[in-house]
Amino acid sequence: MKCWWGHRTGMNLGGHSEEEIEELTGCIPLLLNECVLNGGIDLSPLNIVANKALTFTDDIRMETKCAGNQAHWDMYVHFIQFSMMELTVF
């Protein structure tokens, strides 16, 4: 990340620290690049990512829980929870 920030010195961070921006973007340079606008950081592209994630989750819910397969939905939810806590799922 030092190289990414090194190429963008003096950038307006919109009141955020570099660490906060890295946390929000997961330190993914391609996602960070999408947040650069007019020499500053604009975090609105993250809304698009969040909406896509919600749509994906709703699709999985419809294909599992709403289709009468509670076990598959529970397995998906547990997988996501363990992934977020960085625990081994299997």
Place of tokens 């975090």: 43
If asked whether residues 6 and 35 sit together in one domain, one would say yes
- pLDDT digits over 8-55, tens only? 888 999 899 999 999 888 888 888 998 998 889 999 888 888 889 889
Give the domain range for residue 72. Answer: 47-84
Residue 90's pLDDT is 56
Does residue 90 belong to any structural domain of this protein? no
Instruction: Place 84 in a pLDDT band, splitting at 50, 70 and 90.
Output: confident
Total domains present in the chain: 2
Asked if residue 89 is part of any domain, the answer here is no
The CA distance from 10 to 64, in Å, is: 48
Taking CA atoms, 65 is separated from 16, 54, 62, in Å, by 39, 15, 6
